Structure 1
Amino acid sequence: MLTAVTACVLSLAQCSGSSSDQGRAPSREHRGPSATAPRPGLEREITAYTADFGEDTGYRRPSRTDRSTVAAGVGLLLDGRRAEAEHRLADVDFAVRTVTEEATGRRYAEIADRAESGAAPRGWGRVYVDLDSPARWSVQVPHPVADQHTERLGAQLLSRAPGGVLIIAGAHRKAGRGDEADVAHRRDSVFHAVCDELVRRGLPGVQLHGMADDSAPDHDVVASTGRGREAVTEGRALADDLRKRGYDVCRAWARSCPLAGRTNVQGRSATARDVPFLHVEFGPMLREDRDRAQEAVEALADVTRTWRRGV
């Protein structure tokens, strides 16, 4: 199924850890240097986009037509039909442009809402597709800013590992009315529609979250495969890699863990189609410190290599 996607995207130029302190990362009481200014290129684009996200910035629930139109536009782009994608996306006031990573020269298609800069942004999010490698996997950021620095991790992973598609929510999870902007638990969002389109195409995904220190006080990371088990092998590899780097990982497929993402709707959609899905919660230490965040990104990039070889 992904062979066609590969050819088309190329034409576009996409727990159980020990409770012992031995070998673990420094205590959560210690804080290294906080995340510094974003690096040039993709990370800068994304952090500039999310900089003004807040609980009071508002959110407009998209209609079924809005959702399906954006998802269809992403699909056309993946199929190598950029002109058609641009035309389709213009129907809902989205646009496509190319972003180039200054350090590497790698190119990404950015699918963005033209209404972002208006007086009342809709909060429908963005999609970035690697234009220099076949589309093989996705990284999903459902709670930018609310889960602090997860947007940075997503950008860094897309830059670090070829063949990715990044989907980032367009609003703080508490924006809008009730929980309507909490896209990890809502099927009526543009975010979910795009993730569902990628799952339909068989692309595995990793969804990035941030937890507070007291959410899982004995662990630095909670790794889960959601309600399914299609990504247990990848989850074990990620947990083993992070453990070797000195971090304690709760493995939700093997034991009871908090924040295991069982109700996550993107995970449920992936499970329904037997597509691998990882839900990963990172503690503050791994998000706030640039060097430790890089270790997390490197471990995630290793997982994507399996997915890049898998088809």
Structure 2
Amino acid sequence: MISKMTRRALVITGAAVLLAACTGQSSPEASDRDLADVVSEFASALSPRAPYRIPGLAERSDAAAEILAVLENHQPGVEAEKLGRLGFTVTQGMDSVTGRRYVLIASRPGDERGWGFFLIDQEAPRLVVEVPHPGSDLHTEKSGIALYRQHPGSVLLMAGAHRRAGDRAADVAHREDTVFHAVAAELMRSRLPQLQIHGFDDDSLPDKDVIISAGAGKATAAHRDTATALEDANFSVCRSWSESCGDLEGKTNVQGRLAAQFETPFVHLETNRATRDDAERQAALVKALGVFTQ
């Protein structure tokens, strides 16, 4: 946790200009590309054999502070320079599907500083969407960007490395020494709802499509309503608070544990491969999950 991070209310302002990366290389012109392609290409480039270096405490604190500063004021000039020194590129643009402006802060796939992919909507923040295992839980990034687009004011947090990189040191859902966790922790202070998307093999729980959990916390009416909405959308749902869902309940998830301490709304969602491979089913899943933020 970052003790000196600001706790002021997050206010989003600013205009859209395309920024160059601060590392001496030009950032991709994200405003000219479909964000879904940007997200999918990033995830598909991640490798379990890629190098990964655990960020030091100062690096985690600095990166999270600069990312939160961008989220607050959307004037990422000084922040972009500092983030560049930490291995991130910073770009701004407009989402071609929603017309909403965004800032993208992302590490490069394969860089040992694969510390994250942070997509920030320039509307007032309302929801944190988390994809901790891109490249491993296949196609979860597609649900992530779809949820981001469905909810104005979303912040998409995606891991910057494959979960098995660095002898699993890059597994952000089970490690507190990551930039991903540092940013998620600070957003929890503002009690922004957090929705974390995972994937499981069909054989792991063959009679279920979706597993919904509050992680280490207690299920609320929002969790129960979301489970009902998923069932109404023809998904077979395992509710971790009322039945056994095997090892897929997310109770050891470090973001879920911290959310329970902060009493921040948190959903840990596991989706089977059949759902993730079917575009129509994935769209139905994302629509049903909208109940959680109502």
Tell me if TM exceeds 0.5.
yes
Matched, 1:275 2:264: yes
SS at match of 1:152: helix
Query: For 1:127, which of 114, 118, 127 is the aligned residue?
Result: 118
Would the aligned equivalents of 2:86 and 2:113 in 1 still touch at CA under 8 Å?
Answer: no
* Matched AA of 1:166: L
In the alignment, the residues of structure 2 paired with residue 284 and residue 68 of structure 1 have an alpha-carbon distance, to the nearest angstrom, of 36
Once the 2 structures are TM-superposed, how far is the Cα of residue 73 of structure 1 from its aligned partner? 1.0
Partner residue, 1:143: 133
Matched, 1:241 2:229: yes
Partner residue, 1:77: 70
* Matched AA of 1:187: E
Partner residue, 1:55: 48
* Matched AA of 1:238: T
Query: For 2:217, which of 228, 240, 243 is the aligned residue?
Result: 228
In the alignment, the residues of structure 1 paired with residue 106 and residue 262 of structure 2 have an alpha-carbon distance, to the nearest angstrom, of 28
Once the 2 structures are TM-superposed, how far is the Cα of residue 301 of structure 1 from its aligned partner? 2.6
- Count matched residues: 270
Runs of 4+ in 1 over 3 A off after TM superposition: none
In the alignment, the residues of structure 2 paired with residue 120 and residue 145 of structure 1 have an alpha-carbon distance, to the nearest angstrom, of 15
* Matched AA of 1:12: G
Once the 2 structures are TM-superposed, how far is the Cα of residue 55 of structure 1 from its aligned partner? 1.5
Once the 2 structures are TM-superposed, how far is the Cα of residue 138 of structure 1 from its aligned partner? 0.2
* Matched AA of 2:103: A
Partner residue, 1:12: 14
Structure 1 residues 57, 93: CA separation in 2 closer, same or farther (over 3 Å shift)?
closer
Give the structure-1-normalised TM-score. Answer: 0.82
RMSD: 1.9
The runs of 5 or more residues in structure 2 that have no matched partner are 1-5, 16-32
Query: For 1:286, which of 275, 286, 290 is the aligned residue?
Result: 275
Render the CA deviation track for 1:20-42: whole Å, top value 9, x for unaligned.
xxxxxxxxxxxxxxxxxxxx621
Once the 2 structures are TM-superposed, how far is the Cα of residue 90 of structure 1 from its aligned partner? 3.5
Structure 1 residues 288, 135: CA separation in 2 closer, same or farther (over 3 Å shift)?
same
Structure 1 residues 121, 81: CA separation in 2 closer, same or farther (over 3 Å shift)?
same
Would the aligned equivalents of 1:42 and 1:99 in 2 still touch at CA under 8 Å?
Answer: no
Partner residue, 1:156: 146
Q: How does 1:1-311 map to 2 (within 5 A)?
A: 4-5=9-10, 8-9=11-12, 11-13=13-15, 41-80=34-73, 82=75, 83-113=77-107, 116=108, 120-131=111-122, 133-177=123-167, 179-229=168-218, 232-258=220-246, 259-304=248-293, 306=294
Render the CA deviation track for 1:205-227: whole Å, top value 9, x for unaligned.
01000011121122111000011
Once the 2 structures are TM-superposed, how far is the Cα of residue 91 of structure 1 from its aligned partner? 4.0
SS at match of 1:286: helix
Structure 1 residues 73, 2: CA separation in 2 closer, same or farther (over 3 Å shift)?
closer
In the alignment, the residues of structure 2 paired with residue 291 and residue 81 of structure 1 have an alpha-carbon distance, to the nearest angstrom, of 34
Partner residue, 1:33: none
Once the 2 structures are TM-superposed, how far is the Cα of residue 144 of structure 1 from its aligned partner? 0.4
In the alignment, the residues of structure 2 paired with residue 214 and residue 164 of structure 1 have an alpha-carbon distance, to the nearest angstrom, of 32
Once the 2 structures are TM-superposed, how far is the Cα of residue 282 of structure 1 from its aligned partner? 0.3
Structure 1 residues 12, 156: CA separation in 2 closer, same or farther (over 3 Å shift)?
same
Once the 2 structures are TM-superposed, how far is the Cα of residue 59 of structure 1 from its aligned partner? 1.4
Would the aligned equivalents of 1:57 and 1:175 in 2 still touch at CA under 8 Å?
Answer: yes
Once the 2 structures are TM-superposed, how far is the Cα of residue 87 of structure 1 from its aligned partner? 4.1
Render the CA deviation track for 1:185-213: whole Å, top value 9, x for unaligned.
00011111111111122211010000111
Render the CA deviation track for 1:259-303: whole Å, top value 9, x for unaligned.
100000000111111101000000112100000000011112332
Give the structure-2-normalised TM-score. Answer: 0.86
Once the 2 structures are TM-superposed, how far is the Cα of residue 57 of structure 1 from its aligned partner? 1.7
The runs of 5 or more residues in structure 1 that have no matched partner are 14-39, 307-311
* Matched AA of 2:179: V
In the alignment, the residues of structure 2 paired with residue 206 and residue 301 of structure 1 have an alpha-carbon distance, to the nearest angstrom, of 10
Once the 2 structures are TM-superposed, how far is the Cα of residue 81 of structure 1 from its aligned partner? 5.4
Would the aligned equivalents of 1:41 and 1:100 in 2 still touch at CA under 8 Å?
Answer: no
Render the CA deviation track for 1:66-103: whole Å, top value 9, x for unaligned.
11111101211122152343244234232321132213
* Matched AA of 1:74: I
Percent of residue pairs identical: 40
SS at match of 1:262: coil
SS at match of 2:148: helix
* Matched AA of 1:170: G
Higher relative contact order (CA 8 A, sep 6+): 1
Once the 2 structures are TM-superposed, how far is the Cα of residue 2 of structure 1 from its aligned partner? 9.1
